[in-house]
Structure 1
Amino acid sequence: MLSERILIVDSDKSIISSCKSVLSTEEYSFDISSSGEMALNCLKNNSYDLALVDIELPDMDGLELLSRIKREYSDLNIIVISGQGTIQKAVESMRLGAQDYISKPFSKEELKSIVKRSLEYRRLSSEIYGLQIIKKLYRAIIAISSLMNVDRVLHLILEFACGIVRGDSGTVMMLNERTQELEVKVEFALKGDIIKAKNVKVGESVSGWVVEHNEPLLLVGEVKKDTRFKNIALRPEVKSALCVPIKIKDKIVGVINVNTTTSPHIFGHTDLELLKLFAEDAGVAIENAQQVYEHLAELNKLKTEFIATVSHELRTPLTVISWTVKNLMDGVFGPLDGVYIKWLNEVNKNSEQLINLINNLLDLSKLEAGKAEIKKINLNINDSIKETINKMAVLAREKDLKVSFEFDKDPLLVYGNKDRLEQVISNILMNAVKFNQIGGEIKIISQLDKGKTRISISDTGVGIDPINLEVIFEKFRQIKKDEFEISRGLGIGLSIAREVITQHQGKIWAENNKDKGSKFIIVLPSVISDKK
């Protein structure tokens, strides 16, 4: 067990001698400061369990020093040493946060007794705090163990780590086995410029040292005084820091870093042990989440392959049926009367609809698997929008919809696949027609916005429940619209749209209009035209 550490702040050599004699006998470790400034410097660079502070110091008033210590190191127990003429100050020191005081002259037994009492009080307080922390630790472990998303697990690990040891900033860094570098995955209360710093190689800096030596670290104050880190300095605002390894089956996969900056708390060895204990369970939680993720990824792959296989098997006979029906209707096999033509039209219409659904399934499977061939060229997206509007004109007229398209006279160039981008616009326009009121409006606007191509498609339909603005882009999800009697599809049109736009390095999302209806927005990288 580590010996308890005491700071003696006194300029009286006889008092210092008495303190040294008592503390050495009890096997405490101690440092001596003969002034207030020396004491503050010691506190900045070390962690103490107790401070003995003389009320009369050569460079500052003892009460001023006490006030500063309690403000910056509120956990530290302080015993004030007072002279005969400073009893009133000793009483005032108790009000400021001192735990006890002892008057000069005092015997060694008196000093031994008051030091033991103070440290015993600190131990009991630590045990009570420890029980509270164990309760927190248990809740934290239960919480992170039930999660399946690795990113969410990492966020909770850092959140709980900071809470357990009372840190006010930190990071979780994960080891990239290929590059042998630690990469920041999650940060808490840190400035952006710190997070943007380069990755840390194994063996470099504090985090790299922890991984290389498989050893946790407690750092207080100036790190350069530690010969292991003579070329490294903690950020000036960091008062103390903890860095512990995260392991999966005895293999280091990352580190948890926690700091105190604005907090008065200074980390001690108890904090280090608590964080080590928590890191063990954090490793298990990360492993569980990774296994679930890999299992789900495999299931998703099998599902995609199954859909693709079934779709291929269905498309062939449906194509034959469609071909046969068209030939019958064209009289290739002989003339047919009106009744047969009517029913063959229905068969043809439904078989075409099934073929389109199957083609969409195959499209989505290829896009998700990265197997879809997307040949890109520089194209004027305004031309593609116009072509798509023309194709939808008949459907729009059936509902007496007013369709308008606003665009600049200059070409709006993007680097993309014409067919795929028109497929996206068509899917959105189809929904705008389906879910619009009779006599409603559809408004398309394309423009260059901050160097990007921005396309918005608005309608005056029923709109989308705010909780479903992201759900609609999920596969096989359809939002019920009671006002409309519409044949159901597979709910993959918008999934395809998002996959296509993502593969064009763009973004697509949905919003609700302020008055009524919904709006879909597509943002794509632009190709700046040479024409001015």
Structure 2
Amino acid sequence: MTQNNLSHLPVEEELRGRIFWLIRLRWVALAGILVSVSLTEHIFHIPLPEREIYLVSLGIFLCNAIFFLYLKRLERCNSAKIFSRFAFIQILLDWLALTFLIHYTGGIESPVILFFFFHALISSILLSPKNFYLQPTLGVFLVGMVAILEYKEVIGHVTLSGFITNSHYQNPIYIFGILFFFATALYVSTYLSTSIIKKLRERNKELINLKRVAEDAYQRIQTLYSLNNTISSTLDLEEVLGLVARKTAEVMNVKGCSVRLLDQTRKRLELGASYGLSEEYLQKGPVDADKSLTEALKGKPVSVLDVTKDPRVQYPEEAKREGIASMLAVPLVFREEVIGTLRIHTAKPRDFDSEETEFASAIARAVSIAITNAKAYKKVLEFDKARSRFMMMVAHEMRAPVTAIQGILRTILDGYLGEISPRQKELLSRAESRTYSFLALINDLLDLGADETELVESKLSPTSIRDTLGKVLGLLGLKMKEKNIEIEVETPETPLIISEVEGDMEKLFTNLIGNAVKYTASNGKISVRIGIEDKSIKIVVSDTGIGISSEDLPHIFEEFYRTKNARMLEREGTGLGLSIVKRIVERYDGKISVESEPNKGTTFTIIFPRNKVKISPASP
């Protein structure tokens, strides 16, 4: 925040409130005048020119009503000058009204003269310092004029019979003494009150400045907190850098912000993200590390007050055309190595203070961590893709010979190559069983290693979820019959069509229901329910099998993981089935959850968004 911004105070609201207070106070004063006149006449029996005083009161009433209506019109006004002028006019008219009241209540001998002191205090509160002593001077002048005009008998004198026994309005010494003490007391009280008011205003200004500094600090802390949350929630480098550039420019109230990263040669700074800068300026030419704000690449913040005159700026003319006046560059440092710079651009000349530089440096530190994390994540993804490609290659190379071995074993077992002994048949059957398990593992590895991007970009085909479920149940029917497992199926009458990579839904149901059959004891029960909800399609597969312990539940979707009780019941298994199911569900923006209790059963719930599944009025 600049010093100019700090010095700006919301005086308009303050003046509006004070003027409204003065108008309300004037209503009270008007009521006080009317009550005082009545008491003076009827209680104290002091004669007063009631008609003249009531006329003055009527004038006060009309003026105050006009003031009130005019203030209503100024509700949307933001000009401190207009409010100050409005307050000055009101106080001027108040002093004129007081002058008439003094004349009609005894002139120089009137007790109403004391109210000038009260109004002097109000003037010091409402008026600007240059007008502080103008009002007391006017008050002395008006009272003096009344005294002189009554003394010269230009205007008549009202004597307060019963209140003053001997009238002194024609005694020059008395008049001089009263005016002298009145002027002295008025100026002294004005001086004291204005001194106090000045100190209070200075203190108020300091408090407002402190409040604004605190608000700026809070906003900056909130920005850092928001950036840290974003950095921790995503590893998308482009998204993080774009948010950093926008937030930094908004919080620091500058024209624009850019993030530049050193390339592999460390000789040029490549653009990572920007905000508030034109494409023409960003593409002005290569930004050389040894020509553009080089101190920042040495680990020190660089502040440039005038980009057109500072030799550290590589493209001063382009910056001038862009409307950039000043710049601040802070280094992006990770593990004592500079990896780029965060640059802040202003439209007006700006000398960045230490707080602004420190704030920008704090953002730069967070950005450095985000960049490093994103690069590390990118390497992990590259490694994972390499692993998947290797897995796919090995599995492809292995599937053909294993299939050939399986075919040869089946040929021998079927007797096409001659009679074999029972012992040979037993050994060959075991070998064939192993090849089936091995081939299942190869197929799972191929599914697991398939590149997600290639799958999503491959041709999708519409598939009926109900028909696919029926196909899988038909394939598993013999095993369920052997174990006397009861199957309960509940599907909507309306066909549900999903555009899938061929075979995905079949793999999903085969793995979930196949596991349920495998790990459910004889005479158990399996249920499959498919339902249509407001915003989703819900698939629930539950069984009365061995269940999953609470220790195993967090790991069941991990690759090659098998629970302890599953390994005890079935030695054979890849531990890849549920990993494949989870990948298929997430491929279609779905979610999968599981609930289980050992020895009671397991329930898998899959939710697909409605936009991924078409509800067809007729079968496909």
Q: TM-score range by the shorter chain?
A: 0.5 to 0.7
How far apart, in 1, do the equivalents of 2:554 and 2:417 lie? 51
* Residues 445 and 374 (structure 1), Cα distance of their counterparts in 2 relative to 1, 3 Å cut: farther
Residue 347 of structure 1 pairs with residue 435 of structure 2: no
Q: How many pairs are equivalent?
A: 387
Residue 249 of structure 1 pairs with residue 340 of structure 2: yes
Question: Quick one: which of 305, 308, 315 aligns to 2:392?
Answer: 308
Paired residue type of 1:517 = T
The offset of 1:5, in angstroms, is 0.8
- SS of the residue corresponding to residue 491 of structure 1 reads coil
- SS of the residue corresponding to residue 487 of structure 2 reads strand
Match of 1:519 in 2: 604
How far apart, in 2, do the equivalents of 1:124 and 1:448 lie? 58
**Would you say the 8 A contact 1:380–1:414 is kept in 2?**
yes
**Would you say the 8 A contact 2:548–2:596 is kept in 1?**
no
The offset of 1:462, in angstroms, is 4.8
Residue 490 of structure 1 pairs with residue 581 of structure 2: no
- SS of the residue corresponding to residue 3 of structure 2 reads coil
Gaps of 5+ in 1: 13-33, 45-51, 60-81, 90-102, 168-172, 176-201, 215-243, 254-268
Match of 1:286 in 2: 370
- SS of the residue corresponding to residue 434 of structure 2 reads helix
Question: Quick one: which of 457, 463, 478 aligns to 2:541?
Answer: 457
Residue 150 of structure 1 pairs with residue 202 of structure 2: no
1:345-494 matched pairs, under 5 angstroms: 345-368=429-452, 370=454, 376-409=460-493, 411-416=495-500, 419-450=503-534, 454-464=538-548, 471-481=555-565, 484-487=568-571, 489-494=573-578
How far apart, in 1, do the equivalents of 2:276 and 2:535 lie? 41
Measured against aligned partners, the alpha-carbon deviations of 1:70-99 in whole angstroms (never above 9, x if no partner) come to xxxxxxxxxxxx98878xx9xxxxxxxxxx
Match of 2:191 in 1: 105
The offset of 1:405, in angstroms, is 1.6
- SS of the residue corresponding to residue 605 of structure 2 reads strand
**Would you say the 8 A contact 1:147–1:153 is kept in 2?**
no
**Structure in which a larger fraction of residues adopt helix:** 2
- SS of the residue corresponding to residue 395 of structure 1 reads helix
* Residues 458 and 209 (structure 1), Cα distance of their counterparts in 2 relative to 1, 3 Å cut: same
The offset of 1:519, in angstroms, is 2.6
1:268-287 matched pairs, under 5 angstroms: 275-287=359-371
- SS of the residue corresponding to residue 405 of structure 1 reads strand
The offset of 1:385, in angstroms, is 1.4
**Would you say the 8 A contact 2:241–2:367 is kept in 1?**
no
- SS of the residue corresponding to residue 298 of structure 1 reads helix
**Would you say the 8 A contact 1:440–1:461 is kept in 2?**
yes
Measured against aligned partners, the alpha-carbon deviations of 1:94-148 in whole angstroms (never above 9, x if no partner) come to xxxxxxxxx85349877776666777788899999999999x79x9699779959
Larger radius of gyration: 2
How far apart, in 1, do the equivalents of 2:279 and 2:120 lie? 55
**Would you say the 8 A contact 2:236–2:374 is kept in 1?**
no
**Would you say the 8 A contact 1:469–1:510 is kept in 2?**
no
1:57-206 matched pairs, under 5 angstroms: 104-106=190-192, 149-150=234-235
How far apart, in 1, do the equivalents of 2:340 and 2:602 lie? 54
Match of 1:5 in 2: 7
**Would you say the 8 A contact 1:148–1:289 is kept in 2?**
no
* Residues 58 and 497 (structure 1), Cα distance of their counterparts in 2 relative to 1, 3 Å cut: farther
**Would you say the 8 A contact 2:540–2:605 is kept in 1?**
yes
The offset of 1:300, in angstroms, is 0.8
**Would you say the 8 A contact 2:258–2:343 is kept in 1?**
no
- SS of the residue corresponding to residue 393 of structure 1 reads helix
Q: CA RMSD in A?
A: 5.8
* Residues 300 and 482 (structure 1), Cα distance of their counterparts in 2 relative to 1, 3 Å cut: closer
How far apart, in 1, do the equivalents of 2:419 and 2:72 lie? 111
The offset of 1:431, in angstroms, is 1.7
**Would you say the 8 A contact 1:512–1:518 is kept in 2?**
yes
TM-score, normalised to structure 1, is 0.54
- SS of the residue corresponding to residue 370 of structure 1 reads helix
Measured against aligned partners, the alpha-carbon deviations of 1:258-284 in whole angstroms (never above 9, x if no partner) come to xxxxxxxxxxx9986665343322322
* Residues 39 and 249 (structure 1), Cα distance of their counterparts in 2 relative to 1, 3 Å cut: farther
How far apart, in 2, do the equivalents of 1:482 and 1:379 lie? 32
The offset of 1:445, in angstroms, is 2.1
Paired residue type of 1:434 = K
**Would you say the 8 A contact 1:506–1:525 is kept in 2?**
no
Measured against aligned partners, the alpha-carbon deviations of 1:24-75 in whole angstroms (never above 9, x if no partner) come to xxxxxxxxxx98998997699xxxxxxx9xx99979xxxxxxxxxxxxxxxx
How far apart, in 2, do the equivalents of 1:41 and 1:362 lie? 73
Measured against aligned partners, the alpha-carbon deviations of 1:192-217 in whole angstroms (never above 9, x if no partner) come to xxxxxxxxxx99xxx64699999xxx
How far apart, in 2, do the equivalents of 1:493 and 1:511 lie? 14
**Would you say the 8 A contact 1:407–1:446 is kept in 2?**
yes
Paired residue type of 1:5 = S
* Residues 300 and 528 (structure 1), Cα distance of their counterparts in 2 relative to 1, 3 Å cut: same
Measured against aligned partners, the alpha-carbon deviations of 1:396-455 in whole angstroms (never above 9, x if no partner) come to 244432112223455444444563321211001112123334432111123444586543
How far apart, in 2, do the equivalents of 1:421 and 1:346 lie? 31
The offset of 1:392, in angstroms, is 1.4
Structure ranking higher on relative contact order (CA contacts 8 Å, 6+ apart): 1
* Residues 426 and 6 (structure 1), Cα distance of their counterparts in 2 relative to 1, 3 Å cut: closer
**Would you say the 8 A contact 1:35–1:58 is kept in 2?**
no
**Would you say the 8 A contact 2:495–2:615 is kept in 1?**
no
Measured against aligned partners, the alpha-carbon deviations of 1:443-494 in whole angstroms (never above 9, x if no partner) come to 1123444586543222223545679767533433444437952225332222
Match of 1:92 in 2: none
Match of 1:260 in 2: none
The offset of 1:358, in angstroms, is 0.9
**Would you say the 8 A contact 2:476–2:514 is kept in 1?**
yes
The offset of 1:304, in angstroms, is 0.9
- SS of the residue corresponding to residue 489 of structure 1 reads coil
**Would you say the 8 A contact 2:558–2:579 is kept in 1?**
yes
Tell me the percent identity.
20
